[in-house]
Chain A
Amino acid sequence: MSDWTVARAAEALLAAEDSRADREPLTAEWPGLDVPTAYAVQDETLRRRLGRGERTVGVKLGLTSRAKQQRMNVSAPLTAWLTDAMVLPAGAPVPQDRLIHPRAEPEIVFVMRDRLEGPGVTAATALAAVGAVYGGVEVIDSRYRDFRFTLADVVADNASSGCFVTGPVSVPPAGLDLALEACLLEVDGQIIDSATGAAVQGHPAEALALAANGLGRRGHAIEPGWIVLTGGMTDAVPVPPGAKIAVHFTHVGSIQLAGG
């Protein structure tokens, strides 16, 4: 018999975030936590964030790579909420005083022109709703010790959201082959990894369609003007204080990020 509730889980996760204290996975104490309930926890944390004055600015996807999906034994990515408190201005260092163990990953970012409401959204219709494509770096963080969690845990934890920075160039999606849009990931001046948009669910627009359909089934739409972080192109790399990260994209510019 568990005395955990959605409200108590949301409170515990926000407390871990606010106090920068990592914790054991929720499922260690609440083995009955399933994915639909975990989304209810995620929605409750959003409600509390909005209650303290934050604004919803978009959504992010997690587990968009085949390798990560295989590790977590799922076949589809997950979604989470982005608020204005998670926006990192270009040139600002990673806010180490707000994060527990930040990791950075390059992403293709969409800014939506049209409303997208699933289910029934395809990659083609999803891309037609995109207004602009940006490069981005997402700084993920987990409230769980050593990033150890089950699928339900990470859904509840807003898909390890931390903060994110978007790049300097906005490119219209028409004419851009996002499957071959590449990024080089540089740490302390050395290129340590590279990838293309194909690493994100085959194509970032496929990820966007899955997000729209997943949200649609839960009664949410992706609204005009929203930002969509489509998912990590490479594995995430730790960003300790002093680290220098640079990401270079083929068409959407370069982003420099200091570990603070």
Chain B
Amino acid sequence: MVIEQSREEIAEILLGAYTSRQPVEPLTEKYAGLTLEDAYKIQLLQVRRWLSAGARIKGHKVGLTSAAMQRQMGVDQPDYGHLLDSMFWLENEPIPASRFLQPRVEPEIAFVLARELRGPGVTVADAIGAVGFVLPALELIDSRIRDWRIKLLDTIADNASSAGVVLGSTPVPLAATDLRLAGCNLHKNGEVAGTGAGGAVLGSPLTALVWLANTLGERGVVLQPGQVILPGSVTAAIPVGAGDTVTATFAGLGSVTARFTGEAGNPEEDK
């Protein structure tokens, strides 16, 4: 475990990367004693800073949910990050790529909750009962760590590499589709950039929702009605930059598009 002062210091380093747009060296290289608890505390210190600046929590994301990612990171469980209102972009709204350091996009099946989910002890049945509807979504991930050289604790401290969300606009009830076997095609500039099925997310995206509710529940956090939960990517993440258009199409859920522009972002402007 690192001392309290170091947690504050690491949170500052990460917050600094957002404004300077300069990635930082891997935290796990500089702070050898970092623990899982430290990493989530560091994430929370940044979230508190954003909240005090007027941001609002709109949901959570679950990461490291595919067998390939878990193998690559040497872990056997997922992680989570916070989604703030400032991270949400509208479909067809140009997203200035320069706001991000090294952005990547992932197709996801987003859950929007109709009822609260209070862990621990949440089952798949409870989770199904709490979901209001699902939406096709694109998650924009980014790393404040140089060249994505992340280990588990680096990404957790860095808000699980969260950066943005584009939600589709057709709500579909959970009962209307088999999320596990729902196909997903990711196109970048008109070419197939990845394919997959919902079951690539921990066997079922619902598993990620249950894990999140129970993991947050142990920390006294309740998932609230209206919150958006991104359960994890259906394909490998793809890099994006200015000029790229990315579309995710899901069987039974429709599609969602994100458009990245080269317009210079204004760091002072609070979206």
Contacts and interface: CB of A to CB of B under 8 A. Distances in A.
Interface of A: 66, 177, 179-184, 190-199, 202, 233, 248-250
A183 B183 CA distance: 8
B196 interface: yes
Contacts of B182: 182, 250
Interface of B: 67-68, 178, 180-185, 192, 195-197, 199-200, 203, 234, 249-251
Contacts of B196: 182, 194-196
Nearest to B183: A182
Given A182-B251, A191-B203, A250-B183, 17 more contacts: A180-B184, A180-B251, A181-B251, A184-B180, A191-B199, A191-B200, A192-B68, A194-B200, A195-B195, A196-B183, A196-B196, A196-B197, A197-B183, A197-B195, A198-B185, A249-B181, A250-B251
Nearest to B191: A66
A183 B67 CA distance: 15
B185 A184 contact: no
Contact of B197 (A177, A179, A184): A184
A192 B249 contact: no
B178 A250 contact: yes
22 contacts: A177-B251, A179-B183, A180-B183, A180-B185, A180-B249, A180-B251, A182-B183, A184-B180, A190-B67, A191-B200, A192-B67, A193-B68, A194-B234, A196-B183, A196-B184, A196-B195, A197-B195, A198-B183, A198-B192, A198-B195, A250-B178, A250-B182
Contacts, number: 71
A179 to B, nearest CB: 6
Contacts of A250: 178, 181-183, 197, 251
Residue of B185, B192, B197, B234 with most partner-chain A CB within 10 A:
B197
A250 B183 CA distance: 8
Contacts of A181: 183, 251
Nearest to B181: A250
Contact of A183 (B68, B178, B185, B197): B197
Contact of A199 (B67, B192, B199, B234): B192
Contacts of A193: 67-68, 200
Contacts of A198: 183, 185, 192, 195
A179 B192 CA distance: 10
5 tightest A-B CB contacts, nearest first = A182-B183, A182-B197, A180-B183, A194-B197, A196-B183
Given A180-B185, A250-B197, A202 B180 contact: no
Given A190-B67, A191-B67, A202-B192, A248 B183 contact: no
A202 to B, nearest CB: 6
A190 B202 CA distance: 9
Contacts of B68: 192-193
Contacts of B67: 190-193
Contacts of B203: 191
B200 A184 contact: yes
A253 to B, nearest CB: 11
A241 B253 CA distance: 40
Nearest to A199: B195
Contacts of A202: 192
B199 A248 contact: yes
A200 to B, nearest CB: 9
Nearest to A187: B67
A169 to B, nearest CB: 13
A253 B196 CA distance: 17
Nearest to B204: A191
Given A191-B67, A191-B203, A195-B197, A248 B251 contact: no
A182 B192 contact: no
B199 A179 contact: no
